[in-house]
């Protein structure tokens, strides 16, 4: 039995949402950014693609740093980088240099990625598998509420103060989190002075990449995460350019989808007391499928965007919430090295989302593209679920 160390829930909530808020806060501004820099919609999506690349790479960096210097110093380093990178993105607007914005977004992701990585590490170090699963389920409430509020805030800021103001808000988020992290306990009592040596890194990561349960769980999580970032990359152009919503209206409408994550978090935590984790994952996949089919039918019938895009997303997010928390708990269950294991799991998670979003560049954005990509993700999720179950045998 692990000795339970109580972790401040508010701090964990802001940590787990740190990168996702930074990823989507400016998404209502994507059409405005495309016009500001006189670039195509596909080119504007590079700000999301390069964010995901930085996010994925960041998951591998902070495990060794946390083992060498401690969990809190790793958090300080990542958050400080996020704040500095936010101001680099602001400078890109005043310099009118789009490549600087892309670079800033990459570094922004590299910094903010520490939140997800260290949240999983701390939770799995401080709690047993059952309590860890319940805690992550409740943390999905934060994952639900804060990005939705972030998009709404981004839409309002863009409409009234321009897209650059979104990055001022992101910097403020980082500064607040920097203060809260100071109250966390340090769970790494014995520092590993070899943690950053190349031989140690290769040995630590190679061991985790041999864990097929960890890989399958990370890929399943990556499919779920892809739903969120595909929506962030495509939905603004559908809602604003095709259906004529303003940035503010789009931002406010994005308060609706997180209701699915809120309900899924509350319901998922209760289900862990009645059903196996793998049964809950399968239920989640079925619910996601129902939501995607509903979205496709309503969009094809040209039903108003609020009902055809945002309401079905509530159903989809409800199902995703049941999958994410339980997939991570199963994936981490056999790993003794939580720092390297959570790093590899998070890297696979975000790496999968990066590949999916990057591949969207070959498509022309239209109202059917979103449900079509979602259907392909469901097929991938079912495959990864079967692999995860086989790896447990």
**Closest listed residue to residue 325, CA positions, set 115, 135, 58, 59:** 135
Instruction: Answer whether residue 345 is part of any domain.
Output: yes
Q: Which CATH number goes with the domain that contains 273?
A: 1.20.1250.20
Check residue 4 and report its DSSP letter.
P
Has residue 56 got a pLDDT over 90?
A: no
Instruction: Answer whether residue 230 is part of any domain.
Output: yes
Instruction: Answer whether residue 61 is part of any domain.
Output: yes
Instruction: Answer whether residue 152 is part of any domain.
Output: yes
pLDDT of residue 182: 86
pLDDT of residue 40: 85
Q: Percent of the chain at pLDDT above 90?
A: 31
Instruction: Answer whether residue 1 is part of any domain.
Output: no
Instruction: Answer whether residue 148 is part of any domain.
Output: yes
**Residue reference for tokens 């289900």:** 271
How many structural domains does the chain have? 1
Question: What separation in angstroms does the CA of 94 have from each of 88, 98, 115, 163, 276?
Answer: 10, 10, 29, 11, 53
Buried b (16+ CB within 10 A) or exposed e, 58-68: bbbbbbbbbbb
The half-sphere exposure of 317 on its side-chain side, counting CA atoms within 13 A, is 29
pLDDT of residue 107: 96
For residues 259 and 124, which has the higher predicted lDDT (pLDDT)? 259
For residues 324 and 81, which has the higher predicted lDDT (pLDDT)? 81
Instruction: Answer whether residue 2 is part of any domain.
Output: no
Instruction: Answer whether residue 189 is part of any domain.
Output: no
Q: CA-CA distance, 68 to 73, in Å (whole number)?
A: 9
2: left (phi over 0), alpha (psi -120 to 50) or beta: beta
pLDDT tens string 152-168: 888 899 988 999 999 99
Dig out the tokens for 111 from the structure: 């910094």
Largest CA distance in the chain: 61
Q: What are phi and psi of 37, to 5 degrees?
A: -95, 0
pLDDT of residue 353: 85
Q: CA-CA distance, 224 to 261, in Å (whole number)?
A: 12
**Could you list the residue range(s) of the whole structural domain that residue 203 is in?**
9-184+194-392
pLDDT of residue 3: 53
pLDDT tens string 106-142: 999 999 989 877 887 888 777 776 777 677 777 867 7
Alpha helical stretches, state H, the chain: 9-16, 18-24, 30-36, 41-44, 46-69, 71-95, 98-112, 114-126, 129-161, 165-181, 198-209, 212-236, 247-253, 258-271, 277-300, 305, 311-332, 338-359, 369-392
Has residue 219 got a pLDDT over 90?
A: yes
Dig out the tokens for 195 from the structure: 């943690």
Q: What are phi and psi of 294, to 5 degrees?
A: -60, -45
Q: What is the pTM of this model?
A: 0.74
For residues 369 and 120, which has the higher predicted lDDT (pLDDT)? 369
Q: How sure is the predictor about 143, in pLDDT bands with cuts at 50, 70 and 90?
A: low
């Amino acid at each position: 039995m692990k000795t339970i160390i109580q972790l401040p829930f508010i701090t964990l909530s802001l940590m787990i949402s740190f990168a996702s808020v930074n990823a989507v806060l400016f998404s209502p501004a994507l059409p405005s950014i495309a016009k500001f820099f006189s670039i195509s919609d596909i080119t504007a999506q590079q700000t999301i693609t390069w964010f995901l690349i930085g996010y994925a790479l960041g998951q591998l960096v902070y495990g060794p740093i946390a083992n060498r210097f401690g969990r809190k110093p790793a958090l300080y380093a990542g958050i400080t980088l996020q704040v500095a990178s936010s101001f680099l993105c602001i400078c890109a607007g005043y310099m009118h240099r789009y490549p600087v914005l892309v670079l800033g977004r990459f570094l922004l992701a590299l910094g903010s990625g520490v939140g997800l990585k260290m949240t999983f590490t701390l939770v799995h170090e401080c709690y047993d598998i059952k309590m860890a699963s319940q805690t992550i389920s409740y943390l999905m409430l934060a994952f639900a509420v804060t990005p939705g509020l972030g998009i709404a805030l981004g839409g309002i800021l863009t409409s009234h103060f321009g897209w650059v103001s979104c990055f001022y808000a992101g910097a403020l988020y980082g500064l607040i989190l920097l203060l809260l992290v100071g109250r966390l306990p340090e769970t790494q009592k014995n520092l590993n002075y070899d943690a950053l040596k190349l031989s140690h890194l290769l040995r630590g990561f190679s061991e985790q990449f041999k864990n097929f349960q960890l890989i399958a769980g990370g890929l399943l999580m990556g499919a779920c995460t892809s739903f969120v970032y595909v929506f962030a990359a495509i939905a603004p152009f559908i809602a604003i350019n095709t259906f004529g919503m303003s940035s503010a209206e789009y931002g406010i409408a994005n308060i609706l989808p997180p209701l699915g994550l809120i309900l899924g978090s509350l319901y998922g935590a209760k289900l862990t007391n009645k059903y196996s984790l793998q049964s809950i994952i399968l239920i989640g996949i079925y619910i996601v499928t129902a939501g995607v089919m509903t979205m496709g039918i309503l969009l094809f019938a040209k039903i108003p965007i609020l009902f055809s895009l945002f309401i079905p997303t509530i159903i989809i997010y409800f199902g995703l919430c049941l999958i994410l928390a339980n997939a991570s708990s199963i994936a981490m269950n056999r790993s003794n090295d939580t720092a390297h294991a959570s790093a590899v799991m998070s890297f696979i998670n975000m790496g999968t989302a990066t590949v999916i979003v990057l591949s969207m560049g070959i498509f022309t954005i239209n109202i059917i593209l979103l449900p079509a990509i979602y259907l392909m993700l469901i097929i991938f999720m079912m495959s990864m679920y079967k692999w995860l179950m086989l790896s447990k045998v």
